[in-house]
């Protein structure tokens, strides 16, 4: 209510002019020609003033609306571009995370395969030599180790990626919570 | 007559009216909470100034943005300046400044010139 009164306050002069004219019309002075002419002149001046204001404010408002509309279009366009860039960026980040996870998985699996190889050479091979003495069994064990490398690498890579995504989600959630609280 | 200086804020423009030099300035953003309260002192000052103005009065207007109620009062400020013109031999000029990419603000100046009949000079300000 107070805000509305403040807005109406800007027309206090025009309101005062209108009240004065109405009072004149209700008074007996309206029958006096000279006073009526003066009042009519005042009224005409006030009307001209209001017309000037109306013309100007309408033109300015129209122009402002046009400007706002153009700005809105620009913002929409920029927003679309930003969304596209965001998707591109997210894809690049995903690729980078995937590559990083791949490298990490390869290292882990390589170390694991090395340990398995050493384990088979040091412990299983002598056992086969002493008890079974079968070269095919030995080769099969090595082949199993070699063939398990790729699936194992994929499994490790998958779990690293899951962990990375979970960590990213958590970081994003924490950031959003912090923004909401501020 | 005392100078009228009002520091600009995010919502109200900077005002520097100097009766001794006849140089008046209104610049910044004009979206005051209460335009009447802000502009009324300016109109009163100009009313006084119009009684004994300098031979040449220059109003520099460099507004970035103003709201509708401000546009009404800017018109009143210019109309008060027109009263200065009625004083013997006094000249009044409006330096209307606008940012180089703000064509709308220049056109707004042309509207004011059209309505008030005052002499306007337009200045494009490089950002």
Interface confidence, given as ipTM, is 0.79
Residues B51-64 have pLDDT tens digits of 889 999 999 999 99
Chain A contact set for B111 (CB, 8 A): 56, 59-60
Residue of B11, B29, B36 best to disrupt the A interface, most CBs of A under 10 A: B36
Residues A106-120 have pLDDT tens digits of 888 888 888 888 887
Cβ contacts of A109 within 8 Å, gap of 6 or more: A149, A152, A153, A156
| Residue A103 covered by a domain | yes
Closest CA to A116 of A94, A89, A148, A158: A148
For residue B102, give how far its alpha carbon lies from the nearest alpha carbon of chain A (Å): 10
Residue whose structure tokens are 């209108």 = A18
| Residue A3 covered by a domain | no
Q: Which domain holds residue A41?
A: 9-172
Range B4-125 classified under CATH 2.60.120: no
Chain A contact set for B71 (CB, 8 A): 56-57, 60
pTM: 0.70
Of A9, A49, A63, the CB nearest to B108: A63
How many structural domains compose chain A? 1
Residues A67-102 have pLDDT tens digits of 889 999 999 999 999 999 999 999 998 888 888 888
pLDDT at residue B25, rounded to an integer: 97
Residues B27-57 have pLDDT tens digits of 999 999 889 999 999 999 999 998 889 999 9
Cα A36 to Cα A21, A30, A41, A43: the distances in Å are 10, 6, 8, 10
């Amino acid at each position: 209510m107070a805000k509305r009164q403040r807005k109406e306050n800007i027309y206090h002069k025009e309101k005062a002019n209108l009240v004065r004219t109405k009072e004149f019309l209700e008074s007996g002075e309206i029958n006096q020609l000279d006073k009526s002419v003066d009042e009519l002149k005042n009224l005409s001046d006030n009307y001209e003033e209001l017309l000037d204001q109306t013309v100007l404010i309408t033109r300015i408002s129209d122009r402002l609306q046009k400007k706002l509309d153009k700005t809105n279009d620009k913002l929409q366009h920029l927003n679309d571009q930003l969304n596209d860039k965001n998707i591109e960026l997210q894809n690049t980040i995903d690729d980078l995370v995937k590559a990083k996870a791949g490298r990490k998985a390869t290292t882990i699996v390589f170390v694991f395969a090395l340990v398995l190889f050493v384990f088979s050479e040091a412990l299983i091979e002598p056992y086969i030599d002493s008890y079974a003495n079968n070269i095919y069994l030995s080769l099969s064990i090595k082949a199993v180790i070699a063939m398990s490398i790729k699936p194992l690498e994929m499994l490790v890579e998958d779990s690293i990626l899951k962990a990375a995504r979970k960590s990213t989600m958590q970081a994003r959630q924490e950031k959003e919570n912090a923004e909401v609280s501020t | 007559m005392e100078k009228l200086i009002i520091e600009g804020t995010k919502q109200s423009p900077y005002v520097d009216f100097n009766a001794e030099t006849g140089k008046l300035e209104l610049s910044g953003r004009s979206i005051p909470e209460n335009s009447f309260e802000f502009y009324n002192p300016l109109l009163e000052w100009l009313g006084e100034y119009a009684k004994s103005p300098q031979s040449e009065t220059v109003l520099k207007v460099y507004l970035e943005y103003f709201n509708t109620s401000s546009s009404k009062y800017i018109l009143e400020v210019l109309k008060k300046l027109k009263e200065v013109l009625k004083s013997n031999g006094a000249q009044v000029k409006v330096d209307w400044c606008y940012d180089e990419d703000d064509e709308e603000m220049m056109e707004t100046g042309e509207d004011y010139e059209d309505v008030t009949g005052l002499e306007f000079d337009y200045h494009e300000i490089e950002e």
